[in-house]
Amino acid sequence: MLSVKGLKAKVGEKEILKGLDLEIGRGEVHAIMGPNGSGKSTLAHVLSGREGYTVTAGTVTFEGHDLLELAPEERAHLGLFLAFQYPVELPGVNNTYFLKAALNAIRSARGEPELDAVAFMRLMKERLKVLHLDDSLLKRPVNFGFSGGEKKRNEIFQMALLEPKLAILDETDSGLDIDALRIVADGVNALRSPERSVILVTHYQRLLDYIEPDVVHVLAQGRIIRSGGKELALELEEKGYGWLGAEEAA
Amino acid sequence: MSAVPDSGFAPWLAPPPAAAAPDWLEARRAQARARVQDLGLPTSKEETWRYTSLTRLLAQGFVPAAEPGTAVSPRDLESLLIPGLESHRVVLVNGRFVPGLSLLQDLPPGVRVAGLAAVLKSDPDALKERLDALTGEAPPFFTALNTAGLDDGLVVLLERGARLDRPLELIHLSVGTDEPRVAQPRFVIALADGAQASLIERYLSLGDALHCTNAVAEITLGRDAVLNHQRIQTESANAFHLSGRYLGLGTASRYQGIDVGLGASWARSDLRARFAGEHAECDLQGLYLAGERQLMDFHLDVDHRLPHCTSRENYKGILYGKGRAVFDGRVLVARDAQKTDAAMTNRNLLLCEGAEVDTKPQLVINADDVKCSHGTTVGQIDPEQLFYLRSRGIHPALARRLLCLGFAGEILDALSPSALREQVAEEVGRRLEQAPLG
C-alpha cells in the first residue's frame, strides 16, 4: 500500500529525514516511535503534502501513485488521512459544513455520487454513535474553542467519516487523559479492517496498550534504525531510546 | 475653492421640477445650494477624502433622475425579493416612492410609512422640524447636494411605544435610463419614546444599470427606543453609491446597525452618530467585499458628548482582484463623557496582491474614566488553515471560500431573520466563487 524508499527531506537547510525506508501492507498497523527531533512528525507531514519541506532524494509510492507528485487534496482523494498533532482552528467554519464538503470532495474524486443533506446527516449520526461522541460537536466551528481532547476526538471523527485507506496519526495520544485516549483508540480499532492501514506516530508506549500494532519501528536521526513486533515497544518502555543508540537529537 | 459649475455637479443643483414646494423647503434647498458652492468639490487634501478620488464619479456626467419612476412591473420586483422574508415593504424606484409596488396595508397602529413627496404635499409643514435636524448647520458636500435636490424619499414615524411586528423592508431599486442618472432619496426615520422597529434597507439595480445613488437618512431615536437597521447594498457593478446616515440617540435608546457592502463599482458610506441622552447604545457592524476595480469606503464618526453611553464598531472586509477599501473610524469622547464604553475593530482579509485597504481607527479621548479600545488587522489567508482543509480533500478554491465565509461569519450570523441571513450569505458565497482568489 505504502512504500517509502531512501527518503531524504529538509526543512530549510536542515536535513531531517536521512534515507528512510518503510513498507506498509494492506490492513497493517505500524507504530513509529522515537525520541523528540527524530523526524517522526516530518515524516507525517511529508506524506500528507504539507508545504515547507524539500524532498531531496527517495520515492514514496501509495496505491501505485507517486505520492510526492500529488497535491494534498489529491492524496486525500486517494485515501490518505493525517490526524494532526495540533488540529487547526477554523473560526466561523461550521463543522458539519466542513465535513460535508470534505466527504463529497473525496466521493466525487472517486466517481461516487455526492451525499445529500439527509444521507449525510444519517451517516454522521451513525459515526458519532460508534465513537460515543456528542452531536453538539457538529454545530460548532471546526476545532474553534475545542479543548485539547475534543480536538483529537474531532480528528478521529473525521477519520471515521472519510474512511481512509491509510490513516497517519501524528502523536494523537499526546496530551490526552485516559478516557480521551480510550475514545481515540476505540475509533482506530473500529476502523481496523483488512483493507485499511494505520501509522501511529507516537513518543510513548501507552497508546499501544489500546491499539495493538503489527509492527513497531524506531526512528532516530532521520532513519528507521530498528523494526520489530509489539514487544519492541515494551522493550523501549523499559530501557529508553538510549539503549538503541538513539539519543535525543542535539 | 473650486467653482461648482466646473465641478460636474452643477446639474444636481437645478431645482427639482416637482410641484411647488413649501417656502421653508425652498429656503433649505437654496441654503444647501449655497453650501455646495461654498464647500467646493472635496479634494484629497481633506482628511475624509484622503484615500478616495471623485474622478471616476465625475467622469460619468450623472444628471438628476427627472421623471418619476421608470415603469417597473411587479414581476421585475418578484425576482428581487428574498424568499421567506416576511416584511412590510416599501419600494422606491430611482429615488421615488412607488406605492403600487409597496406593501403597507397591515402596518400596526402608531406606525406611519409614507413617501416623502406625498407628505410634503399633504402636510407641508410636517417635516419642517425634522428635515436637516441631524445633518446640522454645516452638512458635508454630498449631504448638501442631496438637500439641494430633495424632492422624494421616505418618512417612517413610530409613535410612542409603537412596535413594528415584522421588519420594514425598504427596497431602493435603480433602473437604467437613456442617460446616467443620479437618485437622491431622503429618509426621515423617527422612533418616539419606547418605540421598536427593524428596518431592512436594500439597494438593488435592475441588470447592469449605470447609475448613481446619493441617499441620506436622518434617524432619530427617542428615550428607550430600539432600532435594528440592516443595510444591504448589492447595486450593479456599474453603479456609484453614496450614503449619508445621521443618528440621534436619545436616553437609553439602542441602535444596532449592520452595513453590508457588496455591490457598486464605487461606494462611499458616511455615518455620524450623536448621543442626545445618557445610557444609549450604538452598535455598528459591517461587512464589505471589494473586487476588481471596486471601491468600498466607510467613514464612521461617533461622538460621545454625554456620559454613560456605549458604542461598538466592528467592520470586516474581504478584498481581491484590484479591490480597494477605506475604513475611517473616529470616536470622540468629550471631557464630560465619563463612563464611556467604546470599542472599534476593523479586520481585513487580502486575497490578492493587487488589493489594498487603508484603515484608520482614531480615538480622541478627553475624559479620564472611560473604557475605550481599538484594533485593526490586515492579513491573508492562513496557510495552516488552508492546508488543513486541503488535507481533507477539499479543493483550494473551495477551501479559500470556506475560510473567507468563516471570516465573514461573525457579521453574517448577526443578520436576522434567517431568510435575510441566508440570502446575504449566499450572495457573499457567489461573489467569492467568481473572485480570482490567490
Cross-strand pairs, A65: A62
Best to test chain A binding among B318, B349, B377, B394 (most A CBs inside 10 Å): B394
In chain A, what residues touch B388 (CB-CB under 8 Å)?
Answer: 84, 87-88, 90
Tell me whether strands A2-11 and A14-24 are parallel, antiparallel or unpaired.
Answer: antiparallel
Tell me whether strands A54-62 and A2-11 are parallel, antiparallel or unpaired.
Answer: antiparallel
Residue-by-residue DSSP string for B263-274: --SEEEEEEEEE
What's the confidence (pLDDT) of residue B438? Answer: 55
User: Which pLDDT tens digit goes with each residue over B161-178?
Assistant: 999 999 999 999 999 888
pTM over 0.90: yes
CB neighbours (10 Å) of residue B321? Answer: 17
Q: Does B408 touch chain A (CB under 8 A)?
A: yes
What is the count of structural domains for chain B? 1
Q: Residues 336-395, chain B: which have Cβ within 8 Å of A?
A: 382-385, 387-395
User: Which pLDDT tens digit goes with each residue over B367-379?
Assistant: 999 999 999 999 9
- Mean pLDDT for the stretch of residues B405-419: 96
**DSSP letter (8 states) at residue A107:** H
CB–CB of A93 and B403 under 8 A?
A: yes
The answer as to whether B321 is a domain residue is no
Q: Does B105 touch chain A (CB under 8 A)?
A: no
Residue B122 has pLDDT above 80, yes or no: yes
Residue B3 has pLDDT above 50, yes or no: no
Residue A244 or residue A31, greater confidence: A31
The answer as to whether B305 is a domain residue is no
pLDDT bucket at B68, cuts 50 / 70 / 90: low
The answer as to whether B9 is a domain residue is yes
The answer as to whether B101 is a domain residue is yes
In chain B, what residues touch A167 (CB-CB under 8 Å)?
Answer: none
CB–CB of A91 and B409 under 8 A?
A: yes
Question: How far is the alpha carbon of A94 from chain B, nearest alpha carbon, in Å?
Answer: 8
Q: CB pairs below 8 Å between A and B: how many? A: 80
Q: Put residue A171 in one of left, alpha, beta given phi > 0 → left and psi -120 to 50 → alpha.
A: left
The answer as to whether B205 is a domain residue is yes
- Mean pLDDT for the stretch of residues B121-134: 92
Q: Does B429 touch chain A (CB under 8 A)?
A: no
pLDDT bucket at B69, cuts 50 / 70 / 90: low
User: CB–CB of B327/B317 below 8 Å?
Assistant: yes
Residue A28 has pLDDT above 60, yes or no: yes
Out of A101-105, A171-175, B305-309, B322-326, pick the least confident.
Answer: A171-175
Closest alpha carbon within chain B to A84: B388
Best to test chain B binding among A46, A77, A81, A90 (most B CBs inside 10 Å): A90
Tell me which residue in B387, B398, B405 faces A50 most closely, judged by beta carbons: B387
**DSSP letter (8 states) at residue A86:** S
Q: Does A222 touch chain B (CB under 8 A)?
A: no
Residue B99 has pLDDT above 80, yes or no: yes
Question: How far is the alpha carbon of A51 from chain B, nearest alpha carbon, in Å?
Answer: 8
Residue-by-residue DSSP string for B140-176: -HHHHHHHHT---EEEEEE-TT-B-SSPEEEEEEE--
In chain A, what residues touch B407 (CB-CB under 8 Å)?
Answer: 91-92
Residue B303 or residue A241, greater confidence: B303
CB–CB of B393 and A87 under 8 A?
A: no
Residue B4 has pLDDT above 60, yes or no: no
CB–CB of B402 and A51 under 8 A?
A: no
- Mean pLDDT for the stretch of residues A40-53: 95
Residues 6 or more apart whose Cβ sits within 8 Å of residue A209: none
Range of the domain at B8: 4-277
What's the confidence (pLDDT) of residue A204? Answer: 82
Tell me which residue in B390, B403, B406 faces A72 most closely, judged by beta carbons: B390
CA atoms within 13 A on the CB side of A38: 23
CB–CB of B406 and A91 under 8 A?
A: yes
User: Which pLDDT tens digit goes with each residue over A115-133?
Assistant: 999 999 999 999 888 777 7
Tell me which residue in B384, B393, B408 faces A88 most closely, judged by beta carbons: B384
The answer as to whether B424 is a domain residue is no
Residues 6 or more apart whose Cβ sits within 8 Å of residue B380: B349, B350, B351
Q: Does B107 touch chain A (CB under 8 A)?
A: no
CB–CB of A92 and B388 under 8 A?
A: no
Tell me which residue in A90, A91, A106 faces B393 most closely, judged by beta carbons: A106
User: CB–CB of B271/B247 below 8 Å?
Assistant: yes
What's the confidence (pLDDT) of residue A198? Answer: 96
Sign of CA dihedral A106, A112, A115, A119: negative
**CA-closest candidate to residue B352, choices B321, B325, B396, B386:** B321
Out of A180-189, B92-101, B144-153, B410-419, pick the least confident.
Answer: A180-189
The answer as to whether B128 is a domain residue is yes
- Residue pointed to by grid coordinates 440617540: B249
Residue A191 has pLDDT above 90, yes or no: no
CA atoms within 13 A on the CB side of A45: 21
CB neighbours (10 Å) of residue A52? Answer: 12
Specify the length of chain B in residues: 438
The answer as to whether B36 is a domain residue is yes
Q: Does B26 touch chain A (CB under 8 A)?
A: no
Out of A39-53, A88-102, B10-24, pick the least confident.
Answer: B10-24
Question: How far is the alpha carbon of A149 from chain B, nearest alpha carbon, in Å?
Answer: 18
What's the confidence (pLDDT) of residue A118? Answer: 93
What's the confidence (pLDDT) of residue A247? Answer: 54
Closest alpha carbon within chain A to B410: A92
CB–CB of B396 and A92 under 8 A?
A: no
Residue range A2-93+166-244, CATH number: 3.40.50.300
